[in-house]
């Protein structure tokens, strides 16, 4: 215990935080079903250890097992850290499970030259909203038509939209990356997508890696499933090589395979597999979860739904599909989509970063090698930034004349060097899918059922399973 105390005591200039217990530190003082709320309460006057009321400020520390983490809260602190001192926080920490799975390759969990090159390549191919010959807008709208057909097949009766939305959004990534989509209900594909939401297991694994590596448990299943996903991608890469046509860039894999490579570049098949894996990992569940929240908010606020539909009817009408050019003429709809993203807060603690050298933040010194958690929740629900932070209020994004206004504190995609790589793609998907849905359907709850706005804390913050009725308009 004495050795643990000496090894793990906070250095003098380190950010303060709740008392850490021997060995486990603050591991069991966080409620993992509501991690983001636990972490936000530490910075607020509320508390997590229930014994004394303390406020630790916007930069505070916790010890998770043997690992110190620093949690950053509020817009100014996050901006100072991720944007103004972005270089110091551009790396990801060496989290055991993530390293075991990605082996430092790809984009999301890589660092240094691999991250720079792979991110730049993915961004440049995404820049024109499509890979190779596949441009994004027709891909999204084509997928919407399959999805709408599935919704219509329920004939206004209650159903859970989760699988259909997951299929639709994953299929958009499939079309862009593999050059083809899958039939809905493809069992193998659904199984491969089913590993999300393992927050607590990951946290335990990352805190006690040596122990957890030897133990059976859900984290082993996650690892097994992730390996299956990678095998699945390897088969697609092999088929692309087999059907090789140097004059035809069909999709992301083709573009990648045709990249001109210099001797010390990091473009190789393993990085390709992990990059494709990353696009699925980061791009499927996020967008489909946001759409699931969108359904819930629309049934909870039918008057807002009606206002959105009226605006779409007026600007787009019923005889054509919506396009991105319509966005400027749909300020209310745009505001509603932003408010859905703010309230649903699906990546509440962003992804972890690590300090690559000592950094001064909020008057404290954080040494090199400390894991940093950017608490997006503390910004998206900050009462100093939003007029009614806890209420669903599209007015947050509208001026008195009803024009759309951007808000700096709207940061669901994080900020800085590691800002979400798929932000533009996600915004486009959300806009085209949401407006098309509102154009075609009216959403309601089954008779006698009220929408439940509670969440499940996994890799994304997702709604609890629910059934909804979609009536054709």
Q: Which residues bind ligand HEM (CB under 6 A)?
A: 107-108, 119, 173, 278-279, 282-283, 286-287, 290, 346-347, 350-351, 374, 412-414, 418-422, 425-426
State the minimum distance, in angstroms, from the CB of residue 79 to ligand HEM: 12
CB 71 within 8 A of CB 43: yes
420 is in an annotated binding site: yes
State the minimum distance, in angstroms, from the CB of residue 472 to ligand HEM: 27
Q: Please identify, using beta-carbon distances, which residue of 336 and 351 lies nearer to ligand HEM.
A: 351
State the minimum distance, in angstroms, from the CB of residue 418 to ligand HEM: 4
State the minimum distance, in angstroms, from the CB of residue 419 to ligand HEM: 6
State the minimum distance, in angstroms, from the CB of residue 287 to ligand HEM: 5
Q: Please identify, using beta-carbon distances, which residue of 20 and 79 lies nearer to ligand HEM.
A: 79
Q: Please identify, using beta-carbon distances, which residue of 98 and 308 lies nearer to ligand HEM.
A: 98
Q: Please identify, using beta-carbon distances, which residue of 420 and 445 lies nearer to ligand HEM.
A: 420
> Among all residues, whose Cβ is closest to ligand HEM?
422
State the minimum distance, in angstroms, from the CB of residue 75 to ligand HEM: 14
Q: Please identify, using beta-carbon distances, which residue of 107 and 370 lies nearer to ligand HEM.
A: 107
State the minimum distance, in angstroms, from the CB of residue 128 to ligand HEM: 14
Q: Please identify, using beta-carbon distances, which residue of 193 and 351 lies nearer to ligand HEM.
A: 351
Q: Please identify, using beta-carbon distances, which residue of 134 and 418 lies nearer to ligand HEM.
A: 418
Q: Residues forming the annotated binding site for heme?
A: 420
């Amino acid at each position: 215990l004495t050795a643990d105390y000496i090894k793990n005591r906070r250095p003098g200039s380190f950010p303060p935080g709740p008392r850490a217990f021997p060995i486990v530190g603050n591991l069991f003082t966080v409620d993992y079903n509501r991690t983001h709320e636990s972490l936000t309460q530490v910075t607020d006057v509320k508390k997590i250890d229930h014994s004394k009321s303390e406020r630790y400020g916007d930069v505070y520390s916790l010890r998770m097992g043997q690992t110190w983490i620093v949690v950053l809260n509020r817009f100014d602190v996050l901006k100072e850290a991720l944007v103004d001192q972005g270089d110091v926080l551009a790396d990801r920490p060496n989290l055991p499970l993530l390293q075991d799975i990605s082996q430092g390759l790809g984009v999301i969990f890589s660092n240094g030259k691999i991250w720079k090159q792979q991110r730049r390549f993915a961004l440049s191919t995404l820049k024109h909203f499509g890979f190779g010959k596949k441009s994004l807008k027709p891909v999204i709208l084509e997928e919407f038509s399959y999805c709408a057909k599935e919704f219509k097949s329920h004939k206004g009766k209650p159903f859970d939209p989760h699988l259909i939305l997951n299929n639709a959004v994953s299929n958009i990534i499939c079309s862009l990356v593999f050059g083809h989509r899958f039939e809905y209900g493809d069992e193998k594909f659904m199984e491969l997508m089913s590993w999300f939401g393992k927050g607590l297991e990951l946290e335990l694994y990352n805190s006690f890696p040596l122990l957890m590596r030897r133990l059976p448990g859900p984290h082993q299943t996650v690892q097994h499933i992730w390996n299956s996903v990678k095998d699945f991608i390897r088969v697609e890469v092999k088929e692309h090589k087999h059907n090789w046509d140097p004059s035809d860039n069909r999709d992301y894999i083709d573009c990648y395979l045709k990249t001109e490579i210099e001797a010390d570049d990091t473009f190789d098949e393993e990085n390709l597999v992990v990059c494709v894996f990353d696009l699925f990992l980061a791009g499927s569940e996020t967008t489909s979860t946001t759409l699931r929240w969108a359904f819930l908010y629309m049934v909870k606020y039918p008057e807002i739904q009606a206002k959105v539909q009226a605006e779409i009817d007026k600007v787009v009408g019923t005889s054509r599909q919506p396009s991105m050019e319509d966005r400027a003429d749909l300020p209310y709809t745009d505001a509603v989509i932003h408010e859905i993203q703010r309230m649903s807060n699906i990546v509440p603690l962003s992804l972890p970063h690590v300090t690559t050298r000592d950094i001064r933040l909020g008057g404290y010194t954080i040494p090199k090698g400390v894991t940093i958690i950017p608490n997006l929740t503390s910004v998206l629900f900050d009462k100093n930034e939003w007029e009614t932070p806890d209420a669903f209020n599209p007015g947050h994004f509208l001026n008195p004349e009803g024009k759309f206004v951007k808000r700096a504190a709207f940061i669901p995609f994080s900020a800085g060097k590691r800002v979400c790589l798929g932000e533009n793609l996600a915004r486009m998907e959300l806009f085209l899918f949401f407006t098309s849905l509102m154009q075609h359907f009216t959403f309601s709850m089954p008779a006698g059922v009220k929408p439940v706005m509670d969440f499940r804390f996994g890799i994304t913050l997702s709604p609890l399973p629910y059934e909804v009725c979609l009536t054709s308009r």
